[in-house]
Structure formats: C-alpha cells, structure tokens
Amino acid sequence: MVLSRLHFWKRANLNSLRKTLQDFSAICKSIRYMENIATQQPQQAPNILQEISKLPPIALVVTVILGFCALGLLPLYAAAMLIGLSWWGLTAIERAQALKEAKARAATYANCIGPIVVSSIHPNETVEELEFRCEEWRESLRLSGNPYAEKIPVIAMPYQVMLADYGQLTAGWSTYQRQVGERQHNENIIWHSGKCPSELKALFASAVLPAPKQNEFQSQN
C-alpha cells in the first residue's frame, strides 16, 4: 500500500509539473500568435482566432495583460500582480474541478457491486503492469469505503500472444477484446450464483445481468 501511495504521489507531481510546462508553452505560443497577427492577411485571421481559442485560459489572460503592458496602459508591477492573481484564481478553479472529479471517481469505486475483469490496455502491456493496475483497483475499492471491497473479485486477464507453427496469430487483439467481454459476463454469473451477498443479488441481477428472454420467461410459467 505504501508503494502504491508513493506511486500516486509521484504521478500527481509529474502531472502538475507537466501541466505547468504546458501552460508556459501555451503562453509563449499565444504571444507569438499576437505578434504575427499584424503581418497576417485578412483571410488568415479566422485560422489564427481558431488556434487562439484552443489555448488554455491562463495563456489568453497572460497574453492580454502583457499586451496592455506593452502598450504602456499597465505598469509592469501591476501586470505582474494581475498575472499572479489570475494564475492563482484559475488554478483554484482547476483544483476545485479536479476535486469534484475525484469525488465522482471515488463514488464510482464505492458503488461497485460486482466482479472486475482488468484487461490489457494495449498488446505491449506486461503482466506486471496489469497486476499493478489490479492492485490499484483493490486499494481504490478499500479507500472508497466500499463495504464489499474485500469480497469483490478483481481478476487479471492479460493479453497473451500465441503464434501457430506457420507463424500466424492464433488469437488477435480483436478476438481478445471479445474474450474479455465473455469473461466479464461469465464472472458476473459466477458472482451472482456464488459469493454475491444476499442483499445485493436482486440489485446486481437487475442492474448487470441481462434480462431473460420472453420465451424463457413464458416457459418458466
């Protein structure tokens, strides 16, 4: 658990550093756009505006403030203060949004009621990487407060490349994805008929298991 949390902390810091570098790059890019606007022909203006609209909000705010500063309409110290306040405000908004999304993800883990088949993301993912993601699932279930965290099975299903004697794939990626869906369905049935808590059976059956066909229902009656 300590290694997993250390991994989360490293990943969060890397994401924060990556976001800061992306914002700085976007600011530089927006400044270059503003410098080139005067030299562009009228028919190219819509393309420039379209590119500017793709920039993050902080880049646009900084560009406008620096533009006022360059025109002498804003002192340098005031521009620095406005940039700092804008950066802080937009960062606070992004953090609030990230917290909201994190709470939504935590609620997702807390409301899991059935088995989880963890499949390979891509053909090159190793078994060790897949097992690590399975452990992340188990820890997230526990940390979310899910009352069934210790009972819900988390099953690893790695993609295994197999070649026939004549060098042809016995099962490709598309076949593997189909097998993942079939494995999930089978695990759902096993869970419902086996270790699923009695208070969850009706909810799990109605929410996850497919409804019985009409002819099967009539034959039972």
Q: What are the tens digits of pLDDT across the range 19-60?
A: 655 665 665 565 555 555 555 544 454 565 565 556 566 666
Among 91, 122, 157, where does a domain finish?
91
Residues of the chain with pLDDT under 50: 1-10, 12, 17, 41-43, 45, 217-218, 221
Q: Which pLDDT score is estimated for 98?
A: 77
pLDDT of the residue at 217: 46
3-state secondary structure of 117: strand
Q: What does the alpha-carbon distance between residue 115 and residue 103 come to, in Å, rounded to a whole number?
A: 22
Q: To the nearest 10°, report the CA torsion of 56, 59, 64, 67.
A: -150
Q: Are residues 142 and 66 in the same domain?
A: no
pLDDT, residue 56, reads 64
Instruction: Name residue 119's beta-bridge partners.
Output: 157
* Domain match, 139 and 186 both: yes
Q: Is residue 195 domain-shared with residue 120, that is, in the same domain?
A: yes
In a domain, 116, yes or no: yes
Q: How many domains does the chain have?
A: 2
Nearest alpha-carbon partner for 34 in 69, 76, 85: 69
Residue 85 to residue 65: CA distance in whole angstroms = 12
Length of the chain: 221
Domain residue limits at 200 = 111-209
Question: Which pLDDT value is given to residue 101?
Answer: 79
Q: From the CA atom positions of the chain, what is the Rg in Å?
A: 27
